[in-house]
Structure 1
Amino acid sequence: MSGVDEWCLIESDPGVFTELIRGFGATGIQVEELYSLDPECFQNLKPVHGLIFLFKWVSDDFSDGTLLKDQNILSELFFAKQVINNACATQALISILMNCHHDDLKLGQTLSDFKEFTRFFDSGMKGLSLSNAELIRNVHNSFARQQMFEFDGKSKKKDKEDVFHFISYIPFAGRLIELDGLKEGPYDLGPITEGQDWVAAARPHIEKRMQKYSTGEIHFNLMAVVSDQKMVYNKRIKELEVKGTEEAKAQIENLKMMISDEDVKMHRYKTENIRRKHNYLPLIIEILKTLGKEGKLVETFEKAKQKAIQIQQKKKEKS
Structure 2
Amino acid sequence: MTKHFVPLECNPEVFDELIHSLGVTTALSFHDVYVIDDPDMLAMIPRPVYALLLVFPVSDTYEEYRHDSDKDLADDYYNSVSGTDKEQAVWFKQTIGNACGTMALLHALANGIPAGMIEPGSTIDILIKESIPLNTVERVKLLENSTELEQQHAKVGIKGDTAAPDAEASVEFHYVCLTRARNSDHLVELDGRRKGPIDLGPLSPDSDLLSEPALNKVREFLARESASSAFSIIALAPSFS
Q: Do Structure 1 and Structure 2 share a fold, with TM-score over 0.5?
A: yes
Distance in 2 of aligned mates of 1:33 and 1:101: 18
- Counterpart in the other structure of 2:233: 222
Aligned residues of 1:97 and 1:107 also touching (Cα < 8 A): no
Q: CA deviation at 1:98?
A: 1.3
SS in 2 for 1:143: helix
- Counterpart in the other structure of 1:37: 36
Distance in 1 of aligned mates of 2:205 and 2:130: 33
| 1:1-319 matched pairs, under 5 angstroms | 3-5=2-4, 7-27=5-25, 28-38=27-37, 39-43=39-43, 44-58=45-59, 59-62=63-66, 74-75=86-87, 77-102=89-114, 105-108=117-120, 109-145=122-158, 156=169, 158=170, 162-172=171-181, 173-199=184-210, 200-214=212-226, 217-230=228-241
Distance in 1 of aligned mates of 2:137 and 2:96: 11
Deviates more, 1:193-202 or 1:174-183: 193-202
User: Cα 1:194–1:119, aligned 2, differ >3 Å: closer, same or farther?
Assistant: closer
User: Cα 1:32–1:190, aligned 2, differ >3 Å: closer, same or farther?
Assistant: same
Residue by residue over 1:272-310, the C-alpha shift from the partner in whole angstroms, topping out at 9 and shown as x without a partner, is: xxxxxxxxxxxxxxxxxxxxxxxxxxxxxxxxxxxxxxx
Distance in 2 of aligned mates of 1:127 and 1:107: 23
Q: CA deviation at 1:145?
A: 4.0
Distance in 1 of aligned mates of 2:179 and 2:85: 13
Distance in 1 of aligned mates of 2:157 and 2:128: 26
Q: CA deviation at 1:214?
A: 4.5
User: Cα 1:214–1:115, aligned 2, differ >3 Å: closer, same or farther?
Assistant: closer
SS in 2 for 1:137: helix
* Structure 1 runs not aligned, ≥5 long: 231-319
User: Cα 1:115–1:197, aligned 2, differ >3 Å: closer, same or farther?
Assistant: closer
User: Cα 1:103–1:165, aligned 2, differ >3 Å: closer, same or farther?
Assistant: same
Matched pairs, number: 216
- Larger fraction in helix: 1
TM-score normalised by L of structure 1: 0.60
Distance in 1 of aligned mates of 2:230 and 2:65: 14
* Structure 2 runs not aligned, ≥5 long: 160-165
Distance in 2 of aligned mates of 1:73 and 1:224: 29
Aligned residues of 1:49 and 1:225 also touching (Cα < 8 A): yes
- Counterpart in the other structure of 2:162: none
What amino acid maps onto 2:42 in structure 1? F
Identical columns (%): 24
Aligned residues of 1:20 and 1:140 also touching (Cα < 8 A): yes
Larger relative CO (CA 8 A, sep 6+): 1 or 2?
2
Aligned residues of 2:52 and 2:209 also touching (Cα < 8 A): no
User: Cα 1:168–1:213, aligned 2, differ >3 Å: closer, same or farther?
Assistant: closer
What RMSD, in angstroms, separates the aligned Cα atoms of the two structures? 3.0
